[in-house]
Amino acid sequence: MPLIEPTHAGEHTLSVSPGALSVETVTIAAGSGLLAPGTVLGVLSEGGEYQPFDETATDGSECAAAVLYHLADARTASAQATAIVRKSELSASLLVWPGATASGIADGESQLVAKGIILR
């Protein structure tokens, strides 16, 4: 049986701005699950917490706003995490779009580009 290595923290990151300009500490909403590095996040309109991008939602998470830098466990409680929110280049093939369709991913990619997150 082959050994499959999971995605590492920051593996999706090609370049970021100096210092902490590209990243912020965010709160992942409780119940969001165990999230892999590179998971695309939306920010909830009410409360400002982040959760995985959901193109069918109407709570703010339907708009791609950030990309998770490292593994985050928000299965039962909210979790603090580092997210890439601006001025960066990321590997598009390593991003995680839970349940998103090709159309939803295309929309989300445009939303990330508008925030200065360039996908290569």
Residue ranges in the chain modelled with pLDDT below 70:
none
Q: Is residue 80 part of a domain?
A: yes
pLDDT of 13 reads 85
In a domain, 6, yes or no: no
Name the amino acid, one letter, at 115. K
Entry pTM: 0.94
On whether residue 2 sits in a domain, the answer given is: no
* Domain assignment of residue 8, yes or no: no
How many structural domains compose the chain? 1
Residue 1 lies in a domain: no
pLDDT of residue 58: 95
Q: Is residue 81 part of a domain?
A: yes
Residue 63 placed within a domain? yes
Domain assignment of residue 49, yes or no: yes
pLDDT digits over 18-41, tens only? 888 899 999 999 999 999 999 999
> How many alpha carbons fall within 13 Å on the CB side of residue 109?
18
CATH number of 48's domain: 2.40.300.10
E-strand spans in the chain? 13-16, 23-28, 33-35, 40-43, 50-52, 64-68, 72-74, 79-84, 88-90, 117-119
